[in-house]
Amino acid sequence: AGWFRRLLHKPKPSSAESSLKSSHSASSSPSSSSSAKSSSSSSGTSLATSSISLSPVSAPDISAADSPRWDKSYDVCICHSEGDVELVEELVSYLEGQPESFRCFLQLRDAVAGGAVVTELCDAMQNSHCWVMLITPSFLQDPWCKYQMHQALAEAPMANGRTIPVLKDVDRKDYPRELRNIYYIYMALKEKSFKQIRDTVMRYLQELCRSSPKRME
């Protein structure tokens, strides 16, 4: 009987105490999560700090003297139709003007006079790290452009980042079936697309340097 009386006369917790308890027990509460983080970080601060400082992630220098970048004559081969020469010249000027001074093959400018067109193009593709396909309505109607596309795919069908399709004024449904397994860049804003092309080439060259046997040694 005594314990029953004490239970009846036990004071109820105040509203402030009850709200404090509920907020403290809630798993999604910012205050509870921050306190948990602070307590856990206090015990592992030195470990986390040392691991970051001991394993820095640095991008390889693609312009180093022993870089595999120099194993080929060009960094980028631009495949395009004759109707898109002006846009391609702007792209080449942009890439060659970057701090990395990308080496671009532009057929009308760099092909050897007197050389066979097919031979010049095949040599340029074999001696280029990446191929930019400027896919426009003119590109899709030009059999010569399709030949260039097939040559690039035959050269390295599974190499991520080497073939870089760039769509301009072309609907997604008209994207060449041969390239359906490769993500493309859609050129809406020219400056933004140029930067995306530059970043894609840069990533490929960095990965090439990172996986090079010379670097592993």
State how far the Cα of 26 lies from the Cα of 33, in Å rounded to an integer. 9
Task: Give residue limits of the domains in the chain.
Answer: 68-209
User: How many helices (H) does the chain have, and how many strands (E)?
Assistant: 10, 5
Pair of tokens at residue 5 = 């009386």
Instruction: Give tens-digit pLDDT for 68-92.
Output: 999 999 999 999 999 999 999 999 9
Architecture of the domain delimited by 68-209: 3-Layer(aba) Sandwich (3.40)
Band the pLDDT of 4: cuts 50, 70, 90. low
Helix, coil or strand: residue 195? helix
Residue 5 has pLDDT above 60, yes or no: no
State how far the Cα of 85 lies from the Cα of 190, in Å rounded to an integer. 15
Residue 96 has pLDDT above 60, yes or no: yes
Pair of tokens at residue 204 = 């490929």
Write b or e for each residue in 68-78: b if 16 or more Cβ atoms lie within 10 A of its Cβ, otherwise e: bbeeeebbbbb
Cβ partners under 8 Å of residue 200, min gap 6: 130, 161, 164, 185
Instruction: Give tens-digit pLDDT for 104-124.
Output: 999 888 888 888 888 888 899
State how far the Cα of 29 lies from the Cα of 22, in Å rounded to an integer. 10
Band the pLDDT of 9: cuts 50, 70, 90. low
* Terminal-to-terminal C-alpha distance of the chain: 85
State how far the Cα of 204 lies from the Cα of 96, in Å rounded to an integer. 17
State how far the Cα of 132 lies from the Cα of 201, in Å rounded to an integer. 9
- For position 214, what pLDDT does the model report? 58
State how far the Cα of 197 lies from the Cα of 156, in Å rounded to an integer. 18
Pair of tokens at residue 39 = 């307590």
Cβ partners under 8 Å of residue 174, min gap 6: 140
Residue 152 has pLDDT above 70, yes or no: yes
Over range 151-158, report the average pLDDT. 81
